[in-house]
Amino acid sequence: MDHISFRVARGRFFGFLGPNGAGKSTTIKMLTGLLRPTEGEATIEGHPLEQELLAVKRVIGILPEELPLYERLTGEEYLHFAGRMYGLSPQETRRRTDELLAFLSLEEERGKLIVDYSQGMRKKTALAAALIHSPRVLFLDEPLNGIDPVSGRVVTDLLRRLAQKGVTMFFTSHVLDVAERLCDEVAIIDRGRLVAQGTLEQIRAQREVGQDATLEDVFLKLVAADVRREDLSWIG
């Protein structure tokens, strides 16, 4: 990452966008204490990351892109474990687990080992674990990848409601129309540098893009992507 600096207000749905290898996941890893930046600092919900790492981890929920779940636990056991790790009582953990499993349509799979889950089921389990302790900030790295359309809608509706209740969303996605639909504000990075930040309207105005331009149009312009190609020679 190259000297990026941004601020996200509480309760905002913040989209962090960029092409492959731009540094989105690296930024999330740094903001969640999983990767040490060579310099710089971050403050989350008033807690300086470097000095109060555990306090930061108490208030955040993480849905990483790579899902290192405990594959030899069942989905239900994993949620129980996560609840206990966040300091919830066994009774509260059980109540929230039941509710999360029902909400994410994982009830029938609750007794199966995670190793036997599909990618979408793993994603939903990881999301459930990220939500179980009622976090104030959610870091979601490609949360909709591999999730079926019905669950995708359930998840996006939930995330939107959470944001309305004051939970801050830090969201990365390659699917720009989803980002456009969900995010109040976006930041676009390219090769480790922040190239734009603000609401879509603000970015359109800054970059002198037409008011009818979609997020995808703005994104392609900002990362200077050349999408024009000659046809393949053998395709008639």
Partner 1 sequence: MLRARERAVGLALLLPGLFFSSLIGSFMAYAGVRGAEAHDPEMVMPLLSLIATGVGVSWMLSPLLAGVALSESHDVSRLLHFPLPLLTLVAASLVGNLLQPMVLAALPVLASLSLALSRSPAAIPFALAGSLSSLLFLLAAAQVSGLVLHGLTRRRRFQDLAVFLVIGLGFLMSMAPIVFLSGGARFLGRAMRGLVASDLVALSPFAWGVRAAVHAGRGEALAFVGWAAAQAAAIAAAAAVSAALIERIHRGELDLGGGSGEGTGRAVMRLPGRIGALLEKDLRVAWRDPATKATLFLSCATPLFWLFVFTRARGGLSTSGLLMLAMLVGASAFGNAFGLEGRGITLLFSFPVERWRVLVAKNLSGFALRLPGLATLLAMGALLAPSALLPAAATVALCTFLVAAGADNYASILFPMVAARPGHNPYGGSAAGGRGLGAAALGALFFAATLVVASPFVFLAWLPMLLGRPFLWLFSLPLALAGAAAVYAMLVAGAARVLERREPDLLQRVLGEV
Which residues lie near partner 1 (CB under 8 A)? 32-36, 53-55, 57-58, 62, 64, 66, 68-70, 72-74, 76-77, 80-82, 84-87, 90, 97, 109-113, 115-118
For partner 1, the closer CB: 65 or 217: 65
Q: How many angstroms separate the CA atoms of 169 and 58, rounded?
A: 16
* Shortest Cβ 74–partner 1 spacing (Å): 6
Cross-strand bridge partners of residue 190: 193
Total number of residues shown for the chain: 236
Q: How many angstroms separate the CA atoms of 128 and 93, rounded?
A: 12
* Shortest Cβ 68–partner 1 spacing (Å): 5
Q: How many angstroms separate the CA atoms of 157 and 150, rounded?
A: 11
Other beta carbons within 10 angstroms of residue 204's beta carbon come to 20
* Shortest Cβ 91–partner 1 spacing (Å): 12
* Shortest Cβ 31–partner 1 spacing (Å): 12
What backbone phi and psi angles, to 5 degrees, belong to 171? -125, 130
For partner 1, the closer CB: 30 or 186: 30
* Shortest Cβ 126–partner 1 spacing (Å): 9
CA-to-CA dists, residue 117 to 18, 66, 137, angstroms: 29, 15, 27
- The residue written with tokens 């179980």 in the block is 132
For partner 1, the closer CB: 70 or 207: 70
For partner 1, the closer CB: 119 or 202: 119
Could you tell me if 170 and 28 are in contact, meaning their C-beta atoms sit under 8 angstroms apart? yes
For partner 1, the closer CB: 113 or 220: 113
For partner 1, the closer CB: 16 or 78: 78
The C-alpha angle 166, 170, 176, rounded to 5 degrees, equals 120
* Shortest Cβ 115–partner 1 spacing (Å): 6
For partner 1, the closer CB: 112 or 174: 112
* Shortest Cβ 170–partner 1 spacing (Å): 14
* Backbone CA torsion sign across 51, 53, 59, 61: positive
188 DSSP 8-state letter: E
Other beta carbons within 10 angstroms of residue 1's beta carbon come to 18
